Amino acid sequence: MLQAKSLFEKVWDAHAVRTLANGQTQLLIGTHLIHEVTSPQAFGMIRDLKLSVRMPHRTFATVDHIVPTDQRREPFDDPLADAMIKELRHNCAAFGITFFDLGNDRQGIVHMVGPEVGITQPGTTIACGDSHTSTHGAFGAIAFGIGTSQVRDVLATQTLAMNRLKVRRIKVDGQLGPGVYAKDVILHIIRTLGVKGGLGYAYEYGGEVIERMSMEERMTICNMTIEGGARCGYVNPDDTTFAYLEGRLYAPKGHAWHEAVRHWREVASDPGCHYDDVVEIRAEEIAPTVTWGINPGQAIFIGETVPTIEGSPPEERIAVAEALEHMQLTPGTPIRGTPVDVAFLGSCTNARLSDFQEAARYLRGRHVHPRVKAIAVPGSQLVRRRCEELGIAEVLRGAGFEWRDAGCSMCLAMNPDKLVGDQLCASSSNRNFKGRQGSASGRTVLMSPVMVAAAAVTGEISDAREVFGVAQEAMV
Amino acid sequence: MIALEPITRIRGTGVYLPGDDIDTDRIIPARFLKCVTFDGLGDHLFQDVRRTEDGSPTDHPLNNPRFRGATIMLTGSNFGCGSSREHAPQSIYRFGFRAIIAESFAEIFFGNSITLGMPCLTAARQDIHAMAAAIEERPTLELDIDIAAAEVRLAGTRFPIHIDAAARDALLGGRWDPIAELIEGKAATDVTVAGLPYLKMTTSTEGEGGER
């Protein structure tokens, strides 16, 4: 009987090239995703060192962070952004790298494109110069963000020098109430374990709730793993995973597909394998969750009140005071009712078809509050097209949302979509850091897409279950 | 390829940046990531907390002339959390820092910093506070970080520091940028590649390489 192993161990061991002099592992990266922000310097470095791209056919590029989403005419109005897209285009052409460019109907946020074209597969290692690379773990890949020098390493050698991670299994069992989504689950996990709780760990998400989730929901969960301090998070591949991948552009076909599925089943964690830690969470305890502060762990249920300085643990009081000051919230009062200036539906966390579908379900026949600027930014052009075909875009537009082209947009405001002054944004994105959405004094409240829809309609942070009349009995 | 110097000791004056969970957006706001080189990033380090919206300086420690020229940063826990942007450690390094002492570091930031040859050392909270208090009183005091001995000397006091074993070895052995060693592993990499069927699969019916 072979020793039971976790998916992490199996994938790591299969990709471990050798042990380096300092004890780190030289780890093979099967798939390298690149984008315009963190790759140009890496290409500069490999040119300086007279190196080349080791596996261009395992390197895929798209452009997402800097692209305008209201109109995509080139040259861009912003000359720096324009220089970046040209640089990426040049580098991809020079080294023979597949580029899902602006004119390509598959362009989108890099973490949307990988899964959509079927590049993201179970049992693989995936790296990208972007911390939300953890998203791809939803497919049972070991996927993590890297710095630009590491982008250089992967370009040149297809490998990285890495420390092996410990594995924490996070088991979510039970039944989520109506109006409670994957976003609430991951915000709750981060709130529970803290923004540094995951240092040194890979997170394995499991349990009934995760197993029942669609791939899109699993991607939302894995996406925010890094916000909990863990560099990578994954879900064991199952029939849901295979059904999502079958027939996609880069998915194996015919006999190779059956071989791949057989292998993918084997790569899942074995029953009884060792975990360095196990955390169990009951789904019934989770209510729609919103952040009140300036990191994703500073979160409360919608029915709770904003924390007070005195009521917080002594070691957190300075941070709580700083967050309260920035957010201009009154301690001890309900977060519900806080006025909202901007509603943002988008980002690699929540800009997939089901996110817009669910928001549109409740926005039909309703209208965005006159105080609120509301924008909906699909994560990919594929999602944009599907939303248009299914009439979702029309519902969103009809409700008063601006309907945009694909990109990262106001998640980090590297394009023209930015908060102004101290505007407060109800956002389906992943980070509420100070200044994250383009204004140093701007304020971000993270929440699920349906909660963003509710905030957009009422003009204030609201309980979507009440606003939209979602089953009352499930109230927490 | 690259000849690297072992990094064993860092001596310099320090500055204390209080606070936990200082994120990469704070260190270098995203709008300064619009660049194709890392040049000039040092000018924008902590831009939005060092300048008010009208551009005047705040009371941020990096604006305090008493700490000008500091090469060692002291701070709280989970420093560098958030984005993987190497622009964050690059801006710190280009500002003039050569080492950071914190209670803990975010993982991607830590790795990025080591690869630049900028050690990230952890110390106990009370020790960081004690060092910060000493610096606050006399900013000209020199911190002497001895990586091999795992301690910082400051005004006659020795404070224990910790660094991950692999990073310690890489710094002391002059291997903190791994590229040369990774290239040396080419033959071994080929063996691993050969054992992974997915790397051989014909992945797409579309042409590979280049733009469409």
The A residues from 337 to 396 touching B (CB cutoff 8 Å) are: none
Lookup: tokens for A294:
């300036």
CATH of domain A287-474: 3.30.499.10
Report long-range pairs for A251-256 (Cβ below 8 Å, ≥24 apart): A251/A118, A251/A121, A252/B201, A256/B201
Do the Cβ atoms of B186 and A157 come within 8 Å? Answer: yes
Q: Residue A246: how many CB atoms within 10 A of its CB?
A: 14
Chain-centroid distance, C-alpha B202: 40
User: Cα(A466)–Cα(B9) distance, rounded to whole angstroms?
Assistant: 61
May I ask the CATH architecture of the domain A7-277? Answer: 2-Layer Sandwich (3.30)
Instruction: In whole angstroms, give the CA distance from residue A405 to residue B203.
Output: 28
User: For residue B206, what pLDDT is reported?
Assistant: 41
Are B115 and A147 inside 8 Å of each other by CB? yes
Strand partners, A289: A301
Q: What is the ipTM of this complex?
A: 0.96
Instruction: Flag residues of chain A having pLDDT under 70.
Output: 1, 472-476
Given this model, what pLDDT does residue B210 score? 30
Query: Which domains are assigned to chain B?
Result: 9-176 (3.20.19.10)
* CB-CB under 8 Å, A21 with B169: yes
Give the pLDDT of chain B (212 residues) as one tens digit per residue. Answer: 567 999 999 999 999 999 999 999 999 999 999 999 999 999 999 999 999 988 899 999 999 999 999 999 999 999 999 999 999 999 999 999 999 999 999 999 999 999 999 999 999 999 999 999 999 999 999 999 999 999 999 999 999 999 999 999 999 999 999 999 999 999 999 999 999 989 975 444 443 333 32
Q: What is the pLDDT of residues A419-442, one digit of tens each?
A: 999 999 999 999 999 999 999 999
3-state secondary structure of A456: helix
- Tokens 């240092």, residue located: A199
Q: Please give the full DSSP string across A366-410, using - where no structure is assigned.
A: ----TT-EEEE--SBHHHHHHHHHTTHHHHHHHHT-EE--SS-GG
Query: Are A7-277 and A287-474 equal in CATH topology?
Result: yes
Q: Where are the domains of chain A?
A: 7-277, 287-474
Are the Cβ atoms of B185 and A26 closer than 8 angstroms?
yes
Residues 135-194 of chain B with CB under 8 A from chain A are 164-167, 169-170, 173, 175, 177-179, 181-183, 185-186, 188-189, 191-193
Do the Cβ atoms of A21 and B175 come within 8 Å?
A: yes
Using a CB-CB cut-off of 8 Å, the residues of chain B touching A15 are: 192, 196
